[in-house]
Structure 1
Amino acid sequence: MESQNYKNHRKFYVPHHFIYLPLLLILEGIGIYKIWNDEQNQLLWILFSVIIFLILYLAIMVRQHYALGLQNRLVRLEFKQRYFEIFGLRSDDVEEKLSFGQISALRFAYDDEFKILLEKALKENISGDEIKKSIKKWRADLHRI
């Protein structure tokens, strides 16, 4: 398996991203095409297109909402645990000063870089993306949603 880094850390769920969503997009395209080319059943095709659009919208939003909400909670919990293990202190004050993007990015750094990048994030308020780009030795997270 290729080691994880900034360029390849995103993850896709094949049935959702490459089968279900494209199928819905194709059906939506057919519905829109038929609206303009089947005048006898135009109202039916409008209804079809609206329903497919709503299914597509819900499929994207609900999946993202639940999965990312849970993942975000776990990332915050992981940060708290890691901060405690490294510094022996509660992270509440530090966590309030960081954005979620910064907290999320810090998880890809090993402990030595974590300390340096955390300090840099607190002092210079660098973005999560800048934190990720600054990581020299990437700590892979292969269990993300």
Structure 2
Amino acid sequence: MKKTTFWKDYCSIGNMGTQNYHNHRKFYPLHHFVYLPLLLIADGFGIYKIFNDSENQLLWLLFSIVIFLMLYLALMLRQHYALGLQNRLVRLEFKQRYFELFNKRSDEVEEKLSFGQIAALRFAYDEEFKVLLSKALNENISGDQIKKSIKKWRADHHRI
């Protein structure tokens, strides 16, 4: 297996190279490695000061609560909007691809699959897609099992 570098293979900057099961996740460096760690450090400092600055304990408690809420909102809002929209697009992509391959609507098939299975199928090229779709429907293999079964990975460099 090719030796990878973290920034090239796992962050959204630059080209990811050949995508596979082990490197298909992405990180946004400023958010994951600057902003969130700074919030964690600030919250840790605030908690430390709660127990070590009895004069301003209430102020440090308030500071820690505000920082924690900022951290929570940063994590939840960023993910909620981006993933909600992307999940809809993945479902639309599945519908389109199913129609192109089978010349039929996918409504009945889609109802039988979990979102994890649908999302995993997008990494397979057409011939493997057909085989893995059949396995997902008949054997109920999970999305992770689908991803691990893909022999030739169809990269998705656009998911956040």
TM-score normalized by the length of structure 1: 0.99
Tell me which of the two structures has the higher relative contact order, counting C-alpha pairs closer than 8 angstroms and 6 or more residues apart.
1
1:85 matched to 2:100? The reply is: yes
Distance apart, 1:15 and its partner CA? 1.1
Which protein is richer in helix relative to its size? Answer: 1
Find 1:42's aligned residue among 57, 62, 85.
57
Aligned match of 2:5: none
Cα distance in 2 for partners of 1:15, 1:81 equals 34
Find 2:115's aligned residue among 97, 100, 108.
100
Aligned match of 1:134: 149
Cα distance in 1 for partners of 2:157, 2:68 equals 32
What amino acid does structure 1 have at the position aligned with 2:150? I
The answer for unaligned runs of 5 or more in structure 1 is none
Aligned match of 1:125: 140
Structure 1 stretches of at least 4 aligned residues deviating more than 3 Å after TM superposition: none
Find 1:75's aligned residue among 90, 93, 108.
90
Q: How many residues align?
A: 145
The answer for unaligned runs of 5 or more in structure 2 is 1-14
The 5 Å alignment of 1:57-68 reads: 57-68=72-83
Cα distance in 2 for partners of 1:19, 1:134 equals 35
Cα RMSD (Å) of the superposition? 0.6
TM-score normalized by the length of structure 2: 0.90
- Percent identity over the alignment is 79
Distance apart, 1:96 and its partner CA? 0.2
Aligned match of 1:109: 124
1:40-62 residue CA offsets vs partner (Å, 9 max, x unmatched) = 10000000000000010011001
